[in-house]
Amino acid sequence: MTPSEEIEARLRETAEQLLRDKKVDIFLAHGKASLPFRTTPLFITSPEDAERLVWNPFCAMNLAVYLPRLFVRPANAKEAENLEQPTIGMVVKGCEARSVAVLIQEHQIPRDKLVLVGVACGGMADRRKAAAALDGRDPLSVAEDADGNLRVTVAGDQEVALPREDVLAVACTECRRPTPELVDVLIGDGVEGKAADLTRSRTEQFGSQDLDARWAALREALGDCIRCNACRQACPMCYCRECLLDQTTPRWIGAGTDPSDVVIYHLVRAFHLAGRCTECGACTRACPMGIDTRLLIRKLNQDVEDLYGYTPGESTDATGPLSAFAMSDPEDFLTEI
Amino acid sequence: MARNPYLPYPARIEDIVVENDERDLKTFRLAFEDPDDAKAFEYMPGQFAELSLPGMGEAPFGIASAPTEGDHLLFTVKRMGLFTTELHGLEPGAPLGVRGPMGNTFPWDRMAGKDIVIVSGGFAFTTLRSAITYILDPANRADFGSVLVIYGARTPGELLYRDELAEWQQRDDIEVHLTVDKADETWTQHEGVVTFVLDELKPSPDNTLALVCGPPIMIKFTLVSLTQLGFHEDATILSLEMRMKCGIGKCGRCNIGNKYVCTDGPVFTREELRALPVEY
Amino acid sequence: MTEKTIARTDLTTLLDRLAEDAAVYIPAQDEAGEAALAEAPLDGDLALDYVNFRLSPKAFFLPQNQTLLCFQDGQVREPEQPDHRKTVLFGVRPCDASAMLALDAVFLEGDKHDPYYASLRDKTVVIALACTHPGPSCFCTSVGGGPGDAAGADVLAVPLENDLLLRAQSPKGEDLLASVSDLLADAAPEAVTQADRRIADAAEQMEAVTTDGSAQWLRENYDADLWQTISQACIECGTCSYLCPTCHCFDITDEIRGGRGRRVRTWDCCAYPLFTLHASGHNPRPSSRERWRQRIMHKFRYAVENHDRLFCVGCGRCIRHCPAGMDLRNVFKHVGA
């Protein structure tokens, strides 16, 4: 059995048991999709369906994005008293567990109604990197070998070997905490994260350019944006019922691809995610144009870490630094008036 | 070359009448800047138009005037959102654009020779003012049978077109029953929802068409009453509202099933609606 | 119907000639290495082995943002007509070409002819390129199309071993071929046979999906439980609609600053929660169940009822790009079941 197959077997057992014992009403996991290099989320409600659950290097989606809609939001305190919430079980990777933690911390979902089954994650494959490595040949099927590397079958029954590191999603190449914390069950041996320096180096490289170069780089990176909002919709942290950038009273930005509107959309999103983003890369993965929407958010997250010593998702009790004020908060970046 | 359907006709506000005590319902009388545009704007009661304010966008409103009243147009607008608040803030003389006429009309071909029952509530009465004015015009009156109007509002101060209602009540070629949910000391007419009055009056369904416009809850109970009175589904005519943008069946927003409310509607018979999914 | 051939090596000469008085768009690679139609320099041989472009060509007729009216100092005017120069699109796949007929049905027919769409359509000549190697998410043959079925295109080009067969399909196509007749040879019967065979071979490679009777099935199953389960994974990101060659829903908004501004139409998506939200707060499609159902109903039932054609051409972009791995072909597993 490959490592993934072992984890898959244990996950299926765990999910089946939880459903059979009625410890959860729904188990949220990944299932087989119709194309290779992808999975599709499963909302399993009966123990017999647990066998549809899969675990492989393509379980990249951040399932936490579905949590707010699976719980009922009470309209007021009175309603909240008698509310019957479902209990949701779900499989979580490192980044996902942190997303769940932030949602709990921000009072969007109840911890006591969650059963979190963590899996130590070896990193997820990025289908676009794989496509590039395959020279544009469409993958017909893909399998994992015992070392976690990929064997892809392309047209003409040819097989191509793809080392996992070559096709890891960018977010995974920088992941410092692939082993989920704050979970109820942990499957798989702990996986070591990447060094903090590595994670820093990309944003530092970006930040080391002069202002004009950074501005040009940002505008170029966002040049292909078609304002579809996929980055926002895929993000578990973007759960606002009405996004500021969709508001009409007042209308902050236009709906088209005017460069100033595009930049403001991404800048505002980045600022609203500073100190909240768990760097799962769902945004970049969802973007149909292949834009690295995570770049700027990563930089702001790094700034919050440096200025306030805070990393999102490590505890469900913490208050985000941008939601609170401490006397010890650094002030040297404030100008004197 | 056909006119650009996205380009509004330039018009200006000639007069504004505040319709209700709460002062959030106003009737705007508009005049076209170009008399040729006025001639091109041929409409029949039931249709709507999109009013346009540069920078504020557009919104669809039923046309409250009848084509028999001349070249000006009347729209009664409730202040609810961005566009309507801006519109309410304008003074006579202010310019605005009119795009239309849009949508289908009340079924005038079928209505000819029939008795007409009109049941309406609240500020949905606008296109029915257009219909009634059209019917009562001397050139048209003989084409229709009896006309019974049941119109209700929450309070007397919320009734639209009160002067005209009073005039109509003086006539002998139309029967107008007004009702309010909550009367005040001066109110001497019916008290209760429009369906109470409808159930009391029991209009006959024979050779009769019913036009129903109002809030969803009123429509729901009125349809029950009409069914009990024996009105067929294709003799019951409704006018629907949906969120709209282009108004010409292209932007895909206002569909109910395979029908676009802006082009196949807003007027539908109950029979037509029954064939559509309940998605409104 | 004129049928000619041209040597593959002469293709760039032909396109160069057309570029003398038209903007010519050819298959190229965008920055992420995916195929795209671009006004690229005509040097070297064109690579014709892409499956399809990331973005559909609908942007040439219905741009992501399009100015409808200009406002200035109280005046409301139509915009100045932009560049009237002809545009030639080379390499549009047959599925995308037939999608144009769906858009024509919406924008050109009916009593409100859309002048913005019409003028872009009029000035554009489309040369479709038949497919010889469909991708795993292609299913044009299941929706009334085919790898050589380019109704909607002005010329159909079919790649042969050393040549391209060029078949005029419209008066514009005839004119185009006539304008470069010195570069073309009359098509020999063997060329036509080879073309037909290649197209038939390509058709065989696609997995069929049953869509026969889908309009009727959808009528009968409007309230089926299926819609709840099949829509659960949708994160309402808009990717499917934005990339779809037949999706045409748009928003109209005003942008104004001081006395100057514009009324602009932008792409919109029926999957967005705000799409049908009334000012009163009422939403006829309150959850992803109703919204996803609307998408399927529109394409496979209402379009058939109103325009006698499916508004899906089987290009597979929605399947390839959906971040949640959704596949609308799954709906049809239930049709006829």
Reply yes or no: is the peptide bond before residue B101 cis, omega within 30 of 0: yes
Q: Could you list the residue range(s) of the whole structural domain that residue A157 is in?
A: 127-167
Per-domain residue ranges of chain B: 9-102, 108-239
DSSP B218-268: HHHHHHHHHHHHT--GGGEEEE-----SSSSS-S--SEETTEETTTT-SEE
pLDDT at C235: 95
| Cβ neighbours around A197 below 10 Å, total | 8
Q: What is the mean pLDDT of residues B257-264?
A: 94
Q: Please provide the distance, in angstroms rounded to a whole number, between the alpha carbons at the two ends of chain A.
A: 66
Instruction: Using CB atoms, pick whichever of C106, C251, C254 lies closest to residue B56.
Output: C254
pLDDT at C84: 74
* Strands of the sheet with B25-32, listed across from one edge: B57-62, B48-53, B95-102, B9-18, B25-32, B73-78
Quote ipTM for the complex: 0.91
Contact C183/C13 with Cβ under 8 angstroms? yes
Based on its alpha-carbon atoms, the radius of gyration of chain B, rounded to whole angstroms, reads: 18
C86-92 and C3-7 strand pairing: unpaired
User: What's the token pair of residue A177?
Assistant: 């905490």
pLDDT at A296: 87
Q: Does A34 touch chain B (CB under 8 A)?
A: no
Q: Does B263 touch chain C (CB under 8 A)?
A: yes
Contact C78/B7 with Cβ under 8 angstroms? yes
Q: Going by C-beta distance under 8 Å and a sequence separation of 6 or more, which residues neighbour residue C287?
A: none
Give a yes or no: residue A205 inside a domain: yes
Instruction: Using CB atoms, pick whichever of B8, B81, B256 lies closest to residue C279.
Output: B81
Q: Does C273 touch chain B (CB under 8 A)?
A: no
Contacts of B246 in chain C (CB under 8 A): 250, 252
| Cβ neighbours around B141 below 10 Å, total | 14
Please give the share of chain A, as a percent, with pLDDT higher than 70: 99
Q: Does C281 touch chain B (CB under 8 A)?
A: no
pLDDT at A316: 86
Contact B99/B58 with Cβ under 8 angstroms? yes
Mean pLDDT of chain C: 91
Q: Say which range, A234-238, B11-15, C79-83, has the weakest mean pLDDT.
A: C79-83
Mean pLDDT of chain A: 90
Closest C-chain CA to B8: C76
pLDDT exceeds cutoff 70 at C336: no
Distance from CA of A249 to the nearest CA of B (A): 7
pLDDT category of residue A182 using cuts at 50, 70 and 90: confident
Contact B241/B126 with Cβ under 8 angstroms? no
DSSP C70-94: EEETTEEEPPPP----EEEEEEE-H
Please give the share of chain B, as a percent, with pLDDT higher than 70: 100
pLDDT at C58: 96
C86-92 and C22-29 strand pairing: parallel
pLDDT category of residue B2 using cuts at 50, 70 and 90: confident
Secondary structure of residue A292 in the 3-state scheme: coil
Please give the share of chain C, as a percent, with pLDDT higher than 90: 77
CA distances from A176 to A171, A237, A271 (A): 10, 19, 22
Measured distance CA(A180)–CA(A117) in Å, rounded:
9
pLDDT digits (tens, 9 = 90+) for A79-138: 878 788 999 999 999 999 999 999 999 989 999 999 999 999 989 999 888 888 887 788
pLDDT exceeds cutoff 80 at A197: no
Measured distance CA(C103)–CA(C58) in Å, rounded:
8
Per CATH, domain B108-239 is 3.40.50.80: yes
Q: What is the mean pLDDT of residues C56-75?
A: 93
Closest A-chain CA to C235: A233
pLDDT at C262: 94
A114-119 and A88-92 strand pairing: parallel
Instruction: Using CB atoms, pick whichever of C136, C232, C241 lies closest to residue A35.
Output: C136
Measured distance CA(A175)–CA(A60) in Å, rounded:
13
pLDDT at C128: 97
| Residue A320 CA, distance from chain mean position | 18
Distance from CA of C58 to the nearest CA of B (A): 15
In b/e form, how buried is each residue of A206-234, taking b as 16+ CB within 10 angstroms? Answer: beeeeeeeeeeebeebbebbbbbbbbbbb
Measured distance CA(A223)–CA(C214) in Å, rounded:
40
Secondary structure of residue B77 in the 3-state scheme: strand
Give a yes or no: residue A17 inside a domain: no
pLDDT at A327: 84
Per-domain residue ranges of chain C: 3-204, 214-333
User: What's the token pair of residue A181?
Assistant: 């914390």
Q: What is the mean pLDDT of residues A167-182?
A: 91
Instruction: Using CB atoms, pick whichever of A40, A228, A258 lies closest to residue C239.
Output: A228
CA distances from A323 to A105, A238, A304, C33 (A): 11, 16, 12, 41
B73-78 and B25-32 strand pairing: antiparallel
Contact C53/C37 with Cβ under 8 angstroms? yes
User: What's the token pair of residue C94?
Assistant: 């047959």
Residues A145 and A202 in one domain: no
Question: B: neighbours with 3+ CB pairs under 8 Å?
Answer: A, C
Give a yes or no: residue A173 inside a domain: no
Q: What is the mean pLDDT of residues C155-167?
A: 95
Q: What is the mean pLDDT of residues A140-153?
A: 88
In b/e form, how buried is each residue of C303-332, taking b as 16+ CB within 10 angstroms? Answer: bbebbebbbbbbbbbbbbbbbbbbbbbebb
pLDDT category of residue B152 using cuts at 50, 70 and 90: very high
Q: At what angle do helices A196-207 and A211-221 cross, to 10 degrees?
A: 100
Give me the residues paired with residue A337 across strands.
none
pLDDT digits (tens, 9 = 90+) for C196-227: 999 999 999 998 888 888 899 999 999 999 99
Distance from CA of C132 to the nearest CA of B (A): 35
Residues A229 and A318 in one domain: yes
Q: Does A328 touch chain B (CB under 8 A)?
A: no
pLDDT exceeds cutoff 60 at C125: yes
CATH top class, domain B9-102? mainly beta
DSSP alpha helix (H) spans, chain B: 35-40, 82-88, 108-111, 126-136, 162-170, 194-201, 216-229, 270-274
pLDDT digits (tens, 9 = 90+) for B87-126: 999 999 999 999 999 999 999 999 999 999 999 998 899 9
pLDDT digits (tens, 9 = 90+) for C254-313: 998 888 999 999 999 999 988 988 877 888 899 999 999 999 999 999 999 999 999 999
Instruction: Return the C-alpha torsion angle A23, A25, A28, A29, nearest 10.
Output: 60
Q: Does A76 touch chain B (CB under 8 A)?
A: no
Interface test with A, best of B80, B82, B84 (most A CBs within 10 A): B82
Contacts of C319 in chain A (CB under 8 A): 34-35
Closest B-chain CA to A254: B55
pLDDT digits (tens, 9 = 90+) for C313-332: 999 999 999 999 999 999 98
Residues A201 and A315 in one domain: yes
Q: 0.95 cut: is pTM over it?
A: no
pLDDT digits (tens, 9 = 90+) for B29-81: 999 999 999 999 999 999 999 999 998 999 999 999 999 999 999 999 999 88
Contact C113 B280 (CB under 8 A): no
Distance from CA of C124 to the nearest CA of B (A): 20
Measured distance CA(B51)–CA(C140) in Å, rounded:
43
Chain A residues 243-282 within an 8 A CB cutoff of chain B:
248-249
pLDDT category of residue B1 using cuts at 50, 70 and 90: low
Contacts of A224 in chain C (CB under 8 A): 30-31
Instruction: Using CB atoms, pick whichever of C254, C280, C302 lies closest to residue B55.
Output: C254
pLDDT at A337: 56
Q: Which residue type, as a one-letter code, is found at position B244? A: M
pLDDT digits (tens, 9 = 90+) for B216-233: 888 889 999 999 999 999
What is the tally of structural domains in chain A?
Answer: 2
pLDDT at B190: 92
Q: Does B42 touch chain C (CB under 8 A)?
A: no
Contacts of B56 in chain C (CB under 8 A): 254
| Residue C151 CA, distance from chain mean position | 12
Secondary structure of residue C204 in the 3-state scheme: helix
Secondary structure of residue C277 in the 3-state scheme: coil
